Amino acid sequence: MSTENCIHIENICKSYKKQKILNNISFDVIKGEIFGLLGPSGSGKTTLIRLLMGMEYPNSGKIEIMGNKVPDLKTIESIGYTAQADALYTDLTCEENMKFYCQLYKIPKKECIKKINEALEVVNLNEHAKKIVSTFSGGMKRRLSLAISLVNSPKILVLDEPTVGMDPVLRKQIWLELENLRNSGVSIIITTHVMDEAMKCDRVAMLRDGNCISLGKPNDLIKEYNCNDLEEVFLKLGGDKDEN
């Protein structure tokens, strides 16, 4: 794994009115690693992803992607992104949705079908390419959203809870593909609240109430805090507090 940083997040703070959502968050994502943002609902994971994608502005701090300060349209267009909510045209077919995003990414027409087929194969949707998306289950829509994030062959993937609604067999397949992408040099930042997924990450940042309560390799954190698993680490560091 390279030691070259592709994402730099420094002292990020974000508040809505008087409610602090993120408090002084700092970390780097290294080229060719899977970096996990681990925390319960309301911990600030999605807000941090939205800041990373330039959809919102921090109150203070800075974010740089590949050396460019966010927001930077050209940089953002080179990233594969799966939002927590599916942004799909349900009256179109799976393939038509993919073609639309190919146009947005300005992928040459002669390359589109090849890239679409490759991305749909990753999420096991090839046989559903001609089906109207309104007939898809929630899990199938998540898989299509993930395929869309792969269609432009990005060097950075930003995935917000990408496996929600997927069965265990497909979730395992998706993670194998994410590991293959990581091994090919793709940098992946992924949010999750599932501990076994967090264990698959090279490093994790644990978020709680907008604070980063720990950062490091999963097994190193387990050893450092003398715990049996990552969930125990999270609880030991204050993750068992009552929700606000």
pLDDT tens column, 64-85:
999 999 988 888 888 999 988 8
Instruction: Tally the domains of the chain.
Output: 1
Q: Is residue 46 part of a domain?
A: no
Q: Are strands 34-38 and 187-192 parallel, antiparallel or unpaired?
A: parallel
Q: CA 180, 52, 71 angle in degrees (round to 5)?
A: 120
pLDDT score recorded for residue 17: 86
Tokens of 25: 């968050």
Task: Report whether 14 contacts 21 (CB < 8 A).
Answer: yes
pLDDT score recorded for residue 92: 97
Could you check whether the bond before residue 40 is cis, i.e. omega within 30 degrees of 0?
no
pLDDT score recorded for residue 25: 97
pLDDT score recorded for residue 87: 87
pLDDT tens column, 174-207:
898 899 999 999 999 999 988 999 999 999 999 9
Q: Is residue 84 part of a domain?
A: yes
**What's the order of all strands across the beta sheet hosting 203-208?**
79-82, 156-160, 187-192, 34-38, 203-208, 211-216
Task: Report whether 215 contacts 203 (CB < 8 A).
Answer: yes
pLDDT score recorded for residue 144: 94
Task: Report whether 208 contacts 237 (CB < 8 A).
Answer: yes
pLDDT score recorded for residue 164: 82
Residue given tokens 């991305």 in the structure block: 119
In order of 36, 42, 64, 99, the CA distances from 204 in angstroms are 4, 17, 19, 34
Range of the domain at 137: 79-154
pLDDT score recorded for residue 240: 57
Q: For the chain, what is the total number of helices (H) and then of strands (E)?
A: 9, 10
Q: Is residue 85 part of a domain?
A: yes
Q: Is residue 131 part of a domain?
A: yes
Q: Is residue 144 part of a domain?
A: yes
Q: Is residue 183 part of a domain?
A: no
Q: Is residue 190 part of a domain?
A: no
The residue type at 28: D
Gyration radius of the chain over CA positions: 18
Distance linking the first and last C-alpha atoms of the chain = 39
Give me the residues of the chain with pLDDT under 70, please. Answer: 1-3, 239-244
pLDDT score recorded for residue 239: 57
Q: Is residue 91 part of a domain?
A: yes
Task: Report whether 186 contacts 32 (CB < 8 A).
Answer: yes
